[in-house]
A and B are shown apart, each in its own frame.
Chain A
Amino acid sequence: MERVLFYALSGISVLAALWMITRRSPLSSALSLVVTFLGLAALYAMLDAQLLFVVQIWVYAGAVMVLVLFVIMLLNLREEESRMAAASWGRFALCGILALGLAWKAFGVLAGVRGIAPPVSSEFGGVASVAEILFTRYLVQFQLVGLLLLAVVVGVVVLAKRAR
Chain B
Amino acid sequence: MVGLHEYLVVSGLLFLIGAVGVLTRTNGLILFMSLELMLNAVNLTFVALARYTGSLDGHVFVFLVTAVAAAEAAVGLAIFVSLFRLHRSVNVDQMNAMGE
Contact = CB atoms under 8 A, between A and B. Distances in A.
Interface of A: 2-3, 6, 10, 13-14, 17-18, 20-21, 23, 26, 29-30, 33, 36-37, 40, 43-44, 46-49, 51-52, 55-56, 59-60, 63-64, 67-68, 71-72, 74-75, 77, 80-81, 84, 88, 91-92, 95-96, 98-99, 102-103, 106-107, 110-118, 120, 124-125, 129-130, 133-134, 137-138, 141-142, 145, 148-149, 152, 155-156, 159-160, 162-163
Contacts of B64: 138, 141-142, 145
B17 A84 contact: no
Given A17-B37, A33-B37, A96-B20, A106 B29 contact: no
Where chain B touches its partner, the secondary structure class is helix
Given A81-B26, A159-B82, A67 B4 contact: no
18 contacts: A6-B2, A13-B10, A18-B17, A20-B37, A21-B17, A21-B18, A21-B34, A26-B29, A47-B7, A47-B47, A48-B51, A52-B43, A60-B40, A80-B90, A117-B51, A148-B71, A149-B71, A162-B82
Q: 10 closest A-B pairs (Cβ-Cβ)?
A: A115-B4, A21-B21, A115-B52, A118-B54, A152-B71, A10-B10, A159-B78, A47-B51, A110-B8, A17-B17
Contact of B2 (A18, A30, A46): A46
B47 to A, nearest CB: 5
Interface residues of B, number: 69
B80 A71 contact: yes
Interface of B: 1-10, 12-14, 16-21, 23-27, 29-30, 32-34, 36-37, 40, 43-44, 47-48, 50-54, 56-57, 59-60, 62-64, 66-71, 73-75, 77-82, 84-85, 89-91, 93
Q: Which secondary structure characterizes the binding site on chain A?
A: helix
Contacts of A137: 57, 60
